[in-house]
Amino acid sequence: MNIQPAVLQKSQQPKPQADQRRRLGIGGWIAEIIKYTVLILLSVTFVMPFYWMFSSALKNDAQVYVAPPIWFPSPAFWNNFPDAWNSQPFTQYMFNTLFLYAIPYTLGVVLSSAIVAYGFSRIQWKWRDTLFYLCLATMMVPFQVQMVPLFMIFKQLGWINSFLPLIVPAFCGSPYYIFMLRQFFRTIPAELSDAARIDGASEFDILFRIMLPLSRPALTVVALLSFIGAWNDYLGPLIYVHDQSKFVLALGVENLQRTFSFNSTIANAYPYLMAVSTLVVLPILIIFFFGQRVFIEGISMTGLKE
């Protein structure tokens, strides 16, 4: 059977995108131009605060407190970044934030939420759905209501002035991430789990060798959101951490601002504050930039199947 004419005819057919471009009249082109113009303007409004923070970090007092504002510092004082960073022990604050809080918190949330979500999505047991709805109902209790009881409990345990009150609850799961992972687990075919059970695999084997590798996009979303939440957390460390040697970056920035507020004679106080704020925000932007594809994929694929 000669299929060459059919293949040739198929290759000569115009592409859908080309047809769409040809069908666009003047009105269509105007609509496209308006759409992208609005998107560009919205992008500029989102980027503008970070640019103002970055540009202010490169100024001195003479360039900061001037009207109209200077958008492009001249000259640019790049030494503001190391000077501001060394004005307080921000290296210690970053170590505390990264290794004593953010990473353990993220690992606890991802591990515990995945285990609980697997139990709610793939294991049949009595009162499963009732307890799942009760778990979701805890999201309606604001943290402000829990602050005093939790503080009293952790004080009785002797955990005040440590990171234990911030890390240990993470290993009990998060209702929001449990819901997200449960919805993602339900999109994975149940035949994979059934085949593994026939081969003698335990539920933990199914979870760690089948479900979690297939759920990498959703796990990445949970890890990113948890890490960003811990990195930017201010209220939790403010309540439980008292020694300055145990401060996290959020407390360090607030302490720097308070120092400048009490001593208005410090030169370049505002540029120093903007420089430190830029350095604190920069890692989160880099992480999201390189992980945005998996992040968007995990968000879009969650909850496709009931």
Q: What pLDDT does 265 receive?
A: 66
Q: What pLDDT does 7 receive?
A: 43
State the Cα–Cα distance between residues 90 and 82, nearest whole angstrom: 10
pLDDT along the chain (306 residues), means of 10: 47 52 71 92 91 93 88 92 94 96 97 96 92 94 92 96 96 94 91 91 93 90 93 95 94 90 74 94 87 69 51
Closest by CA to 169, choosing from 113, 97, 233, 95, is 113
Q: Assess contact for 251 and 238: CB atoms under 8 A.
A: yes
End-to-end CA distance of the chain: 46
Q: What pLDDT does 8 receive?
A: 43
Q: What pLDDT does 302 receive?
A: 56
Whole-prediction pTM value? 0.83
Domain ranges of the chain: 83-301
Closest by CA to 75, choosing from 94, 55, 95, 92, is 55
Q: Assess contact for 190 and 118: CB atoms under 8 A.
A: no
State the Cα–Cα distance between residues 75 and 103, nearest whole angstrom: 39
Half-sphere exposure (Cβ direction) of 44: Cα atoms closer than 13 Å: 6
- Three-class secondary structure of residue 265 per DSSP: coil
Q: In whole angstroms, how far apart are CA 39 and each of 35, 43, 49, 98, 109?
A: 6, 6, 17, 35, 35
Which CATH class for the 83-301 domain? Answer: mainly alpha
Residues in CB range of 192: below 8 A, 6 or more apart: 210, 214
Closest by CA to 271, choosing from 61, 37, 1, is 61
State the Cα–Cα distance between residues 180 and 88, nearest whole angstrom: 39
- Three-class secondary structure of residue 140 per DSSP: helix
